[in-house]
Amino acid sequence: MHSSGRRNPAPGSYTAGEQELAGQVLGRLTPQMLLLADRGFYSFSLWQKAKSTGADLLWRMRSIQNLAVDERLEDGSYLSRVYENANGNRRGKGIPVRVIVYTVEDPGRPQAESRYRLLTTILDPEAGPAAELACLYDQRWEFESTLDELKTHQRGARVVLRSKLPGGAVQELYGMLCVHYAIRWLIHAVALDVDADPDRLSFIRTLRVARRTTASHPGFSPSDS
């Protein structure tokens, strides 16, 4: 789950699921934000809670859920409704949504992953054309790359947090995020100097350079003065 404008972690116990933690993040949304989420996050209650913040939503939805066509729109998307379910039965009149269906032609992806279906609260296609929102959702995958950078490369494989107390664990998490931000800021600064796309610069190589630089400048004890 990613919101344009800012990112806020929601720490919890290992028994807490993503949807439960997502509820903590929703309180930070504002009407000027757009919240993107992968298909594992959708539920009627979570969608309704996110929508009530005034932020716009663009979420992927599982293909097994039926979305009837209420009206076809000129950009290829269509209007539909999502409903609360109780014991397999729909309740209420439902919430209006707009559905965007598209296919990604990528030989590297399994066939089952090539078709995408997005839900959005932006009902007017002029305010958010289907092609533009589809491209925007594709950018959400950069957040998955960020998680890989944090968990696999920066932290290290199978490395766990050292603190045994919740407060210490949260402190370590924020420390990791600050270091990641610093490395990404360095990549951005270098990209500006050479007029390059920051996405084309290697996070792993930059991390190695930062580690070598840190190792070559050992810390020292503060003076007594």
- pLDDT one-digit tens code per residue, 115-133: 889 999 999 999 999 999 9
Q: Give 8's pLDDT tier (boundaries 50, 70, 90).
A: low
Comparing 222 with 65, the larger pLDDT belongs to 65
Q: Give 217's pLDDT tier (boundaries 50, 70, 90).
A: low
Report the pLDDT value the prediction gives residue 121, as an integer from 0 to 100. 96
Strand order, beta sheet including 78-86: 2-3, 34-37, 56-60, 115-120, 89-103, 78-86, 71-72
Is a pLDDT exceeding 60 seen at residue 219?
Answer: no
Report the pLDDT value the prediction gives residue 84, as an integer from 0 to 100. 86
In sign, the C-alpha dihedral spanning 98, 104, 110, 112 is positive
Report the pLDDT value the prediction gives residue 100, as an integer from 0 to 100. 96
3-state secondary structure the chain: CEECCCCCCCCCCCCCCHHHHHHHHHCCCCCCCEEEECHHHCCHHHHHHHHCCCCEEEEECCCCCCCCCCEECCCCCEEEEEEEEECCEEEEEEEEEEEEEEECCCCCCCHHHCEEEEEECCCCCCCCCHHHHHHHHHHCHHHHHHHHHHHHHHCCCCCCCCCCCHHHHHHHHHHHHHHHHHHHHHHHHHHHHHCCCHHHCCHHHHHHHHHHHHHCCCCCCCCCC
Is a pLDDT exceeding 80 seen at residue 169?
Answer: yes
Report the pLDDT value the prediction gives residue 212, as an integer from 0 to 100. 83
Is a pLDDT exceeding 80 seen at residue 153?
Answer: yes
- Per-residue pLDDT of 184-207, as tens digits, reads 999 999 999 989 888 888 888 988
Report the pLDDT value the prediction gives residue 32, as an integer from 0 to 100. 87
Comparing 215 with 136, the larger pLDDT belongs to 136
Comparing 14 with 204, the larger pLDDT belongs to 204
Report the pLDDT value the prediction gives residue 5, as an integer from 0 to 100. 45
Report the pLDDT value the prediction gives residue 7, as an integer from 0 to 100. 52
Question: 33-52 b/e with 16+ CB inside 10 Å = b?
Answer: bbbbbbeebbebebbeebbe
